[in-house]
Homo-oligomer: A and B are copies of this chain.
């Protein structure tokens, strides 16, 4: 076989593997949306069987040999194909570094830990989760050893965002922390949170319209209701968003824009390569930058909402009819230190991430005893946000990530915000008429720019690589701070 024939054969195998990965995603989507309650155990077994088939196929001798040979000669390939092979080689290496025993223990421990976490959170009692967290930390440390750097948090960062180091995160977070504290200290006193009553059936219809407005394509997607919103690709042309609706707030508007941003990215990716990649072979930083771009930079602005406002007042007179537009804008841009990350505003959000990052590092690198986590958590919230959780459910038990073993994952959320700001500035640089584009609601233009500059090249790049290619700079927190200062202090 020539190199090209080998490459094509590899692509054929990966195309099938991607489809099996998509099937897993559909099974998970169904589990969160429509699956009957007692079907959970059977679904877990179906997912396990699929995972085993995917694992066997992706570590087969045939694939390994082909991949190794093509990888050795990758410099003869096109830029895209070389990148593609490097991604696959990286995945293959990681799959082979983690032993079958480790993978089995991981899978079994995290399944149990997720259930324990659910119970502990419901009962607001960290002690019910602590023994599992202790085992999880031990296993994560084993993972760092298997990946070649014992107890070094860097390999965990690299696992979720290729090339990312704690040196880089530390430096970005130091700037971010100082800047945000400064903004918060200069903010005026904040009034009480505003409560509304918006029927969920109306919110469902309205968020669908918002998604259409930014360019989400229902021919290749749909929106459904779930407990915690997410976006998932379950087919080559099948990218679904989900949303959560509360009668008393408008968070569903911003969840729609957030998950919609993720989905626009998926819908805009390079169609030659996205059909060959697995769910976990995208840059998390890049993905989050796209959700935040639409949710915050586009979505939390007067320009976005003012053309929608008259319609909202007509459709829901009891809610918006008696409200001033300025008050609506204040409501959706309320900055207020709070305990729950997913409900946080765009200023304080990053502090939630920094707290988790600092605790994670101590657990992995400094042997922080697991029992100290709630105390450390409360102290850091006091220190950074001036508030303390009343219980573990609104403290260190609020997020699912640790129970799933996702250590090193949280920082990508804040880095996504940083990247979004840099993309936002770059968009303005390249489009001198940007304020006209925005006031004309010309989201098609913005989306087309993102597709060309971010979505398509981003298919095979990490967030760290893309920001360099797009702006000539590395990740830089100052852009986000400047945006926040201008928005909230001027």
Can you spell out 16 A-B residue pairs with CB atoms less than 8 angstroms apart?
Answer: A19-B45, A19-B46, A20-B49, A23-B27, A23-B46, A34-B224, A35-B235, A36-B222, A38-B220, A38-B238, A39-B234, A39-B236, A39-B237, A41-B236, A42-B238, A53-B53
Query: Which residues from B are CB-within-8-Å of A289?
Result: none
A22 to B45, CA, bound (A): 11
Residues on B with beta carbons closer than 8 Å to the beta carbon of A102: none
**A218 at the A/B interface (Cβ < 8 Å)?**
yes
CB distance from A39 to the nearest CB of B (A): 4
What residue of chain B has the Cβ atom nearest to residue A24's Cβ? B23
Annotate A216-252 by CB proximity to B: 1 below 8 A, 0 otherwise.
0011111010000000001111101000000000000
In the assembled complex, the Cα of A222 lies from the Cα of B37 at a distance in Å of: 10
Q: In the complex, what distance in Å separates the CA atom of A16 from the CA atom of B49?
A: 7
Closest CB-CB distance, A274 to chain B, in whole Å?
12
Q: Say how far A223's CB is from chain B's closest CB, in angstroms.
A: 11
Chain B hits for A82, CB < 8 A: none
Cα–Cα distance between A468 and B8 once the two chains are bound (Å): 58
Bound CA span A38–B237, Å: 6
A26 at the interface (CB under 8 A from B): yes
Which A107-157 residues sit within 8 Å CB-CB of chain B?
A: none
Task: State the CA gap A42–B236 with chains docked (Å).
Answer: 6
In the bound assembly, the distance between CA atoms of A27 and B29 in angstroms comes to 12
Q: Which residues of A contact B (CB under 8 A)?
A: 16, 19-20, 22-23, 26-27, 30, 34-39, 41-43, 45-46, 49-50, 53, 218-222, 224, 234-238, 240
**Smallest CB separation, A207 vs chain B (Å):** 17
Q: Chain B residues with Cβ under 8 A from A22's Cβ?
A: 42, 46
6 shortest A-B CB distances, which residue pairs? A39-B238, A42-B235, A42-B236, A38-B237, A38-B219, A39-B235
Hey, which chain B residues are within 8 Å of A236, CB to CB? 39, 41-42, 45
Residues of B close to A49: CB separation below 8 A? 16, 19-20
Within the complex, the shortest CB–CB distance from A272 to chain B, in Å, comes to: 15
- For A23, what are the chain B residues with a Cβ–Cβ distance below 8 Å? 23, 27, 46, 50
In-complex Cβ contact of A27 among B26, B39, B45, B224 (8 A): B26
Contact of A36 among B30, B36, B43, B238 (CB under 8 A): B238
Do A26 and B30 touch (CB < 8 A)?
Answer: yes
A42 touches B222 (CB 8 A): no
Which residue in B16, B19, B46, B222 is a CB contact (below 8 Å) of A34? B222
Q: Which of B46, B220, B221 is close to A235, meaning CB atoms less than 8 Å apart?
A: B46
- Let me know if A235 and B34 touch, CB within 8 A: no
Please, which residues of chain B bring their CB within 8 A of the CB of A43?
235, 238
A98 smallest CB distance to B (angstroms): 23
Determine the residue in chain B with the shortest Cβ distance to A30.
B26
- Closest CB in chain B relative to A200 CB, distance in Å: 15
Give the chain B neighbours of A240 by CB distance below 8 A.
Answer: 36
Q: Would B45 and A237 count as touching, CB distance under 8 A?
A: no
Q: When A42-B235, A42-B237, A235-B42 are in contact, do A219 and B26 touch as well, CB less than 8 Å? A: no
Given A20-B49, A34-B222, A36-B221, 5 further pairs, Cβ under 8 A: A16-B49, A26-B27, A38-B220, A42-B237, A53-B53
Judging by beta carbons under 8 Å apart, are B237 and A41 in contact?
yes
Q: Which residues of B contact A27 (CB under 8 A)?
A: 23, 26
A62 → chain B closest CB, angstroms: 14
